[in-house]
Amino acid sequence: MKKKVDRLSSFFDLCYMNLIVDVGNTSVKLAVFDNGTVIFYQKGDRENLAGQVKKICEDYPQISYGIVSAVGELDRKVIAVLKVFCEVYELTQRSRTPYKNSYATPHTLGVDRMALATAAFYGNPKGNTLVVDAGTCITYDMVNDYGEYLGGGISPGLHMRYKALEAQTAKLPLLTPKVPFDLIGNSTENSIHSGVVNGICHEIDGVIGDYRGRFRDLTVILTGGDASFLSKRLKNTIFADSKFLLKGLNYLLEYNKH
């Protein structure tokens, strides 16, 4: 039988001010952690990211360390600017992680999913945790009660589904996500809203249900840019945490300092 991991005893006291830079597919999130607590948060785009980072470092001169996580191409000026102000760690698939990684292709695992798994590892030390990240894509990431990352799933996100309907058809319009007025759409626009929103909610509820059937006492965390929009329509009991990925990056930065 596998021995469960005592994750709390292997963790350490946070004692530095850290800058977290999360470059996602569609947006950039910046946060400053002081002893594990978020004291600054900003969401924006990639435009002049190096300038944004410089200003934060100037506003918070106590920043000692920074971590950069990018799922796509990264402007190297960001790293250069950070190095002027603090020690910098760039998250890659080769980075050390506190959990046991049982993913069959760890070299292809997204750095965002590595951060989510780390937050789950420390956030629910003795339990099974499923993280649902509702962003550009919807990702499902499972960490079991032995501290083992098992993998999960990837599917199109909310906005991607709306865009696909417009791009792959001749006449369907591109719409902004909207809560359906009724299950039965009485117009083309209402039918799109009903199909996309209800479809994605049924998917998430169904996946959560399948995981609950396999893992007892499952804790479900919902995060990502569309978490607030979707959480009100999900039937399953979940914990919404918009900064869950940022917390995971802060944990990874602390873990890799040692």
Binding residues for substrate: 103, 110-113, 188
User: Binding-site residues, please?
Assistant: 22-29, 103, 110-113, 133, 136, 188
DSSP one-letter string for the chain: -PPPP-HHHH-----SEEEEEEE-SS-EEEEEEETTEEEEEEEE-STTHHHHHHHHHHH-TTEEEEEEEESS---HHHHHHHHHHSEEEE--TTS--SSEE--S-GGGS-HHHHHHHHHHHHHSTTSEEEEEEESSEEEEEEE-TTSEEEEEEEEE-HHHHHHHHHHTSSSPPP------SSSS-SSHHHHHHIIIIIHHHHHHHHHHHHHHHHSTTEEEEEESTTHHHHHTT--S--EE-TTHHHHHHHHHHHHHH-
Going by the annotation, the residues of the binding site for ATP are 22-29, 136
- From 6, 59, 75, 112, the catalytic residue: 112
Check if 112 is active-site: yes
Q: Which residues are catalytic?
A: 112
